[in-house]
Chain A
């Protein structure tokens, strides 16, 4: 049997720069119009949407925090009822953890990782679009319920039996549980995309020891998500089953176990802290290098710290359960692991300090946030070591000491670096710089406001003030400290307000940034700011961890890709040797339809189990449309 000779392919090496740009733009560009906007699979557009949406949820969660501080400013205040307060603190926690902190870190990665590894789009771009729509739907479900006085009131941890059918009638607990499903589906989808992008789509030559530290941190974070989040999905699904069809997973009277909930929840819940923190480690490492004007001190140590922290994160969960009556010997093992995780954390801190010490630090706004982070995170880390000790934790469990501790770790450890990262990468995304002068005010107000707000909470906790109480009697003498905290919270809020104003203003009126305003060394700055739809006209080839510093004159590039269809280069996992060319899917509206069908099924299933049966039909239909061959060049292998 003879085989007909194939048509010679048109490859990018046969085109000059202008012709190549035109061809690539025609293939990769998202057309104008609403339909095209809904159908896009461009990681940059989806990443921008993700980031903007996450910051909307940050603002909403911040408003809830202000409402709580208004209520607690005076003893026996009646700004809101106990029932509304329960909803508000639950919404604040659930919103910040599930709708802001995790999604915003993944969102930054969705935008940046493909650029940093030198590829043209994220792996599974349609799954990426689907994940964004699921995330938005989960947020709408949670906030819609809150607006109609159906907001969950069971804490962000939803402990049984208080969230079970006996003590939580109505649908509030179901809203919480189903919001988990939305956000976890979304988070898992992005995690899978990131792992594949990082392992298989790196620029030729980007071996393991040349991967940017932010990319390393997102790789480890993605594995944490993939391993940790199924636990909470199992837990929330079991809760829904207990509530909807009368199973007894958490009902001791019928052989269930309430402690099972805590094990499942915290097996997810503690790694969740590191899912939020590790991306911040990558951000800080990036900022420190760029603004110290030198390679990072201890690249190997920092990668080790990220990996070992990620693994150890799975052996700490019982330190949230020290007062549940587990054997003390078993608990002490978690104390050991909780204290051991201070070692990689310390390695990170010393590597950053050494880099700053031996470099020539340029004190721009992003670096100010790094300094704020270093101080605040070390404080939070030290109180973390304190609460890792069983006797101490037993005393301060469920008090404001713990509230202070985790805000120091999460806000100081993740939000400060994130704000620095926004100032740093804003010109990459928009082509304009945020204001240096306003940024210094933002950093000052947020840092001072944060510490004045949360440091006194340590003292309140030591004085015995419990968490999650909507008011307190005047006789407890907590009134003046609470008033001070509430006033300080206004300083913190004004810092965030200024931050949002600066971002909005800079979108149109910021100073044009140029391609690489910070003289940064990593690949995302090797293309224009903002990048073209195809990211790189010719894919970069890497021969060091800091390609834009070490190859200032001309970056080596790879050729041989087809410009007439969406195509990415697949490389080997460890050494990033080119292995194959792979098509990348075109825009499609089907991820949106699939997300709508899935959302209807999930919301419907709060009310009847039959929703899973009938709701799966439109989902299956949408998935068939998603994967149906469209007769385009990308359908070829």
Chain B
């Protein structure tokens, strides 16, 4: 159990560094694949996926941000107590950057139908 809780404590501060870029990479790739589907389906599929990605990105950033120790003391349960606060803050802000990027991608898919070549 101890190992498991340590793993979680180590992962939480990094979540915003890992999840949002992954969502963005997948969304960008889907942007190459799904226009053909979207053109025939007449449904803003990419818009929905992009904005959902933006929300998830924000959530991942917020999740990491919460790992920042509030009392100024080193965090317990992790392998890097002196860096948890820095990593958590970095992850939180990173979630914001990628949420913005995904939102831009979502906005662009609202303006196009997928049929344009």
Contact = CB atoms under 8 A, between A and B. Distances in A.
A-B complex is real: yes
Interface of A: 207-209, 300-301, 303-304, 307-308, 311-312, 314-315, 325-330, 332-337, 339-340, 343-344, 572-575
Interface string B69-91: 00000000001111101110110
A314 to B, nearest CB: 7
Contacts of B104: 336-337, 339-340
A300 B108 contact: no
B66 to A, nearest CB: 17
B56 interface: no
Contacts of B105: 332-333, 336-337
- Chain A contact residues: over half helix, strand or loop, or mixed? helix
Contact of A344 (B32, B38, B97, B116): B97
For the complex of A and B, 4 pairs with smallest distance between CB atoms: A574-B80, A336-B104, A328-B116, A332-B108
Contacts, number: 106
B100 A340 contact: yes
A315 B24 contact: yes
B72 to A, nearest CB: 14
Contact of A303 (B27, B81, B90, B109): B90
B11 interface: no
A384 to B, nearest CB: 15
Contact of B101 (A300, A330, A337, A572): A337
A575 B109 contact: no
B62 interface: no
A330 B32 CA distance: 5
A465 B112 CA distance: 32
A312 B21 CA distance: 8
Given A300-B90, A337-B101, 10 more contacts: A207-B80, A208-B87, A300-B93, A304-B93, A304-B94, A325-B117, A332-B109, A336-B105, A336-B107, A574-B79
Given A328-B112, A337-B105, A344-B97, A307 B90 contact: yes
B7 interface: no
Contact of B81 (A209, A339, A575): A575
A158 B117 CA distance: 26
A300 B32 contact: no
A333 B114 CA distance: 12
Contacts of B117: 325, 327-328
A186 B85 CA distance: 36
Interface of B: 17, 21, 24-25, 27-28, 31-32, 35-36, 38, 46, 79-83, 85-87, 89-90, 93-94, 97-98, 100-101, 104-105, 107-109, 111-114, 116-117
Contact of A209 (B36, B86, B101): B86
A307 B20 CA distance: 13
A574 B9 CA distance: 14
Given A300-B86, A329-B109, A343 B100 contact: yes
Given A304-B90, A315-B25, A340 B32 contact: no
Nearest to A209: B86
B25 A329 contact: no
Contacts of A307: 17, 90, 94
A337 B24 CA distance: 9
Given A315-B28, A328-B112, A337-B101, A208 B86 contact: yes
Nearest to A303: B90
Nearest to A208: B83
A299 to B, nearest CB: 9
B24 to A, nearest CB: 7
A300 B91 CA distance: 10
Nearest to B32: A330
A168 B85 CA distance: 56
27 contacts: A207-B83, A301-B93, A307-B17, A308-B97, A308-B98, A311-B21, A311-B24, A312-B97, A315-B25, A315-B28, A326-B32, A327-B35, A328-B117, A329-B31, A329-B46, A329-B114, A329-B116, A330-B31, A332-B105, A332-B112, A333-B108, A334-B28, A336-B101, A336-B105, A337-B24, A340-B104, A574-B83
A311 B113 CA distance: 28
Contacts of A327: 32, 35-36, 114, 116-117
Most A CB atoms within 10 A — which of B27, B85, B108?
Answer: B108
